[in-house]
Amino acid sequence: MAKKVTVVEEILSENDRAALTNRAQLNDAGLFGLNLMASPGAGKTSVIMATIQALGDKLRIGYIDGDLASSIDVDKVAELGVPAVQINTGGLCHLDAFMMQGALPQLSLSELDLLVVENVGNLVCPSGFRLGIHRNVLIASVPEGDDKPYKYPAMYLGVDVMLLNKMDVIEAFDFDMEYFKRGVEILNPGLAFFPVSCKTGEGLDNWLAWVRSEVAAFKEGIVAVYEPR
C-alpha cells in the first residue's frame, strides 16, 4: 500500500512542477488564465460563450477545451472568432499540466489578454490536477441539487470563485439556497459567489465585472503566487 501511495505522490509532484512551468509561460506572455470546472451539463460552455460575447471587444481571449472525445464545444466557441485549441483526453476525466504544455504552443500567448480553459465535465478528478492557471472557477447549477458541496468537498475547496448557473429554473426545483451556501462557506469561507443564468443574463454582469477586475489586477502585477495544493 505504501508503494502505491508513493507512486501517486510522484505523479502529482511531477504534475505540479509542470504546472509551475505553465504558470511561468503565461506570466512571461502577460496572459491571465481561468480554469473552468463543472459537472456535465452545468453550463461551462454557455458561461464561456457569454463571457466571450460580452468581453470579446475589450479583451483578446483564447480558449482551450478539454473533452473526452468530441469537438462539439470547441467548434461552438471557435465560431465566435476566438483562437481555440482542443485537447482530447482519450477518456481521462481531467486535464493535467502536461496536456496544457502541448496546447499552449498552439496559441500566440503574447497576443492574448485572457485564456479560458474548459476542463472535462467532472466533479472529482479535475480538482486534483493543477494546470498552472491563475484562477480556478467552479460552475454549479440549480438542477444538480443543493447538496453538491457536501458530496464533492474537494472540488469546492480548491476554487477561487464559483457561479451557480440556471437560476431561471430555481422555482421548479427543491433547491435550498441557504443550505447550499452554508456548505460552500464551510469549505471555502469568503469564496466569491455569483448566482447567474446564461439563458436570461441574470447575474452575469457581476461575473463579468469580476473577470475584468482580475485581468486588470494581473496586468498591474497583482496576482496570487502559485502554490500547488
Q: In this predicted structure, what is the pLDDT of residue 36?
A: 97
53 assigned to some structural domain: yes
229 assigned to some structural domain: no
Q: In this predicted structure, what is the pLDDT of residue 6?
A: 52
Calculate the average pLDDT of the chain.
Answer: 92
- Cell 473577470 belongs to 211
Count of domains for the chain: 1
Residue 162 Cα distances to 106, 135, 146, 156, 197, angstroms: 28, 11, 14, 8, 13
pLDDT at 229 > cutoff 50: no
Which whole number is the average pLDDT over 177-205?
Answer: 97
> Which of these ranges, 24-33, 41-50, 84-93, 130-139, has the smallest mean pLDDT?
84-93
pLDDT at 10 > cutoff 90: no
162 assigned to some structural domain: yes
Which CATH number is 152's domain given?
A: 3.40.50.300
Q: In this predicted structure, what is the pLDDT of residue 162?
A: 97
Q: In this predicted structure, what is the pLDDT of residue 2?
A: 47
226 assigned to some structural domain: no
228 assigned to some structural domain: no
Return the number of other C-beta atoms located less than 10 Å from residue 186's C-beta. Answer: 12
Cβ–Cβ < 8 Å for 115, 33: yes
pLDDT at 170 > cutoff 90: yes
pLDDT at 227 > cutoff 80: no
Q: Is the dihedral of CA 130, 135, 139, 140 positive or negative?
A: positive
Q: In this predicted structure, what is the pLDDT of residue 90?
A: 82
12 assigned to some structural domain: yes
Range of the domain at 144: 2-219
CA 133, 23, 66, 181: dihedral to nearest 10 degrees? -10
pTM of the predicted structure, to 2 decimals:
0.90
Which whole number is the average pLDDT over 179-192?
Answer: 97
224 assigned to some structural domain: no
Q: In this predicted structure, what is the pLDDT of residue 128?
A: 86
pLDDT at 34 > cutoff 70: yes
172 assigned to some structural domain: yes
